[in-house]
A and B are shown apart, each in its own frame.
Chain A
């Protein structure tokens, strides 16, 4: 009886044949929608900030610049990304395993906690009670509700992660799938493990900050805060990395039918992330006096390179899997016939290529170089750093998430894309804007232009800065057009797209 009742909660996807758990489907949708709302807010702020850094325009006054910079960082790096990752985790634990989400009520409680936390933090920032930047370094002090918002969000996300783990375990117990986990779900498990460390670090960082802002705790050691904060702040980006790579594998399969060329090696590469990637976060503390030089070098060089090895494995195995799949279809002409005949008009494939190329050639390479002690001294606190993480988190992770969304809309939300033609252009428009933006930031950093600075007037910088900061401004305009195209397609498809429910 119970089995029959629970089986009634499933529908069969007419495209993939997979069993979709309806309560999970709803939770995937609300988390993804919340993510897109935060992406929209963060994108508008991005445009205002870029048009302020472009000295010729210099749009915002100083106070609003720093306020919006704080809001932009938190909205994009935490709220947009984590809400979407929770949607991705539920997708990986249920749809990909033909399984149910255990205790969906807990999923709703997690969503409520995350949303309340996010709104609390946003309200405090926008009302000028937390002009402390994304890092909120001590002794900058924000309103207690700012820290409370962070804590609630972290606890909610932690609950969602454990719901994901529980669902994966129950799927195995209920024999909803046999054998090893699918590679995409395996990658998401890795993301979940890194998320657990990250969110616990976040709670350890912000709970004392909360009491310090209330006046209950008299002092909070700034060096200890920085060490703890980067266990949260950078590790959060490593969740992105693992989730993004898992989505790359998913997109390669969905778009050209690629299969991993050596699944064991790909799993090993994911394992390297768990063991080594977070150690690289010490690169944020290169100039901190409390840590020894040896400690910094061992963490940011030797140990981090083992995680880079993982990325190198993925960077070879995914394109190789695409090539093998394309050649199997008969596209064997020359070295790159398989690439010429690839589905470039498929928004999922376009997103996969834009994401992989920009993450690898711009984000990954610059990250390894500037994470090194000596070279870090040259670019520390310049726009070069900002260029690096826009290449990883925006051009890499965000584009990959956008690519997956083009599949989630018809498969999970059961709506047709409002304009497939526009969707096929979107990753290229967004990617080209980002390319200009990132190049502008990196070149600005190379001539010494600082980050987080409202104006560089009177700083004696090279006149080249007029060009490089102009690239930042123009790149941001194009990227925001591309981001707007994505939001339009996502929202209008959900509201007015062809109803595909009749097919199932």
Chain B
């Protein structure tokens, strides 16, 4: 029973979703860096 369930879980195949997840992460990183850059411009350390 447990083995059958495990086999079923192994069948999960969602490569398209994985690509979407990486696009999302890239967007997150880009926005995050941009915000820190904007902060550095607005509040410069002199």
A positions within 8 Å CB-CB of B: 261-262, 315-316, 319-320, 323-324, 327, 335-336, 338-339, 360-361, 365-366, 368-370, 374-375, 377-378, 446
Contact = CB atoms under 8 A, between A and B. Distances in A.
Contacts of B31: 365-366, 369
Contacts, number: 52
Interface in B1-46: 9, 12-17, 19-21, 24, 27-28, 31-32, 35-36, 38-39, 42-43
A375 B39 contact: yes
Q: What's the dominant secondary structure at chain A's contact region?
A: helix
Contacts of B42: 378
A324 B21 contact: no
Contacts of A335: 15-16, 19
A311 to B, nearest CB: 11
Given A316-B17, A339-B16, A262 B36 contact: no
A377 B20 CA distance: 31
A229 B19 CA distance: 41
Given A369-B35, A378-B38, A378-B42, A261 B12 contact: yes
Nearest to B39: A378
22 contacts: A261-B12, A261-B14, A316-B17, A316-B21, A319-B17, A319-B20, A320-B12, A320-B14, A320-B17, A335-B16, A338-B16, A339-B16, A361-B24, A365-B27, A366-B31, A368-B28, A369-B35, A370-B35, A375-B39, A378-B39, A378-B42, A446-B38
A360 B15 CA distance: 19
B39 A315 contact: no
B21 to A, nearest CB: 6
Q: Which 3 A-B pairs have the closest CB atoms?
A: A320-B14, A323-B14, A320-B17
Contacts of A339: 16
A59 B17 CA distance: 45
Contacts of A370: 35
Contact of A360 (B24, B35, B38, B43): B24
Nearest to A321: B14
A162 B16 CA distance: 41
Contacts of B21: 315-316
B11 to A, nearest CB: 8
Nearest to A384: B35
B43 A327 contact: no
Contacts of A374: 39
Nearest to B27: A361
A387 to B, nearest CB: 13
Contacts of A324: 12-14
Contact of B43 (A316, A338, A378): A378
Contacts of A377: 39, 43
Contacts of A369: 31-32, 35
A316 B28 CA distance: 15
Contacts of B39: 374-375, 377-378
Nearest to A337: B16
A335 B20 CA distance: 10
Contacts of B43: 377-378
A316 B12 CA distance: 13
Given A316-B17, A377-B43, 12 more contacts: A262-B9, A320-B12, A323-B16, A324-B14, A335-B15, A335-B19, A365-B31, A369-B31, A375-B39, A377-B39, A378-B38, A378-B39
A316 B39 CA distance: 31
